[in-house]
Copies of this chain bind each other. A is one copy, B any other.
Amino acid sequence: MKHESPGNEVTIREVGKRAGVSPATVGRVIGGYGKVSEPTRQRVLEAIRQLDYHPNTIAQSMKGKQRKSVGMIVSDICNPFFGMIARAVDDTLIKYGYNLVICNTDDGIDKEASYLKTLTEKRVDGVLACTACEVERKIPRPVRKFYLETPTVFIDREAEGIDVPVIQADNFGGAYEAVVHLIQLGHERIAIVAGGSMVSSIHQRLQGYMKALQDFGLQFRDDLVKLGRLLGVESGAYAARELLNMPAAERPTAIVGLNNLMTTGVLLAIREAGMTIPDDISVIGWDDFDLAQVLSPPLTVVTQPTYSIGSIAAEHLIALLERQRSYRQANDRKIILKTELVIRESCTSPKAPK
């Protein structure tokens, strides 16, 4: 375990000694500032090579420099949606030399608060957050304070009264379109299965759902809206089972899953119940995935440009960090990207309409 035994680290000073120059000069060549003559420069570079010197960014940070790292708050990196976001973010950040610190909150606001605390202590330059803050729930003081004081870009979700830029999909529109699609097919009892907590994106989707019902004169029934206790496949299956166990006359003829985990759960429950899609029940998922085309039948889904959401958010944060004024303007505080309804074969008209 020779790594980092205090004291044996190669420093700027030793490089200087080796190259026959002062530490300051070495600093200039590695930092690329000030003036260094070409021959000196080469000698220093050679010494760096020989000693296998690596600048200590920790020490650099001490002199007011950036840490070149940003934190990312997600519910769960296992979830392909967040995986894709994280990937997009990392791809973008690395172009600017930043590293990504991942924090899984499971949508728990306390876990989020705790991660935020360690991120502050680590003095990350900024954060990208799929916050666990819920609609109409009070936000812990330290959480609000953190987001207000630290360069932050929200992803997918926003939080009331925390005015930072947010990049998200058109959740309202996407849900509206999906529900209208079902209504036009003749469905009148359309259920929604959402998981976890009442985060802003889910809230928006629910609003889109309700607006569609309303626009088409359909009665809203709150027993058709299932909010799983947690965000997970099993939770989605549980909710779907409740729906499927209703008496035939009340039972929904269509279900829309508000995220991929919930949708998987719905699919599981339908198979369990021995029902077939779309003959017995129509299904729409949220977020596309490769296997969707391979399911029998191929699944109709609402797609959002997940990768773009991540990369735009990251670019936005970088702009904030490099202090570009233009990004503090009101008109790009909120970027909403279009969703798309990809119609495959999991929806038809209900057997006995009405």
Q: Which residues on A are within 8 Å of B, measured CB to CB?
A: 1-4, 6, 52, 54-59, 61-62, 64, 67-69, 76-80, 83-84, 86-87, 90-91, 97, 99-104, 117-123, 125, 145, 149-151, 233, 264, 267-268, 271, 290-291, 293-296, 320, 323-324, 328
- The answer for the CA separation of A122 and B58 in the assembled complex, in Å, is 6
- Assess the B54–A233 pair: CB atoms within 8 A: no
Are B296 and A267 touching (Cβ within 8 A)?
A: no
B54 A121 Cβ-Cβ under 8 A:
yes
Please give, as numbers and ranges, the residues of chain B lying within 8 Å of A55 by CB-CB distance.
121
List the 5 closest pairs (A to B, CB-CB), nearest first.
Answer: A6-B64, A296-B296, A78-B83, A83-B83, A267-B294
How far is A1 from B148 in the complex, measured between Cα atoms in Å? 9
Q: Which residues of B contact A67 (CB under 8 A)?
A: 58
B-side contacts of A79, CB under 8 Å: 83
Q: Point out the residue from B80, B90, B324, B328 that lies within 8 Å of A83, measured CB to CB.
A: B80
When distances are taken between beta carbons in the complex, the residues of chain B under 8 Å from A296 are 295-296
Residues from chain B with a CB closer than 8 A to the CB of A91 are 104
Query: Which listed residue (B103, B291, B294) contacts A90, Cβ 8 A?
Result: B103
CB distance from A256 to the nearest CB of B (A): 17
A57→B71 CA distance, assembly (Å):
15
Partner of A293, one of B58, B268, B323: B268
A164 to chain B, nearest CB (A): 12
With A56-B121, A291-B264 known to touch, is A86 a contact of B99 (CB < 8 Å)? no
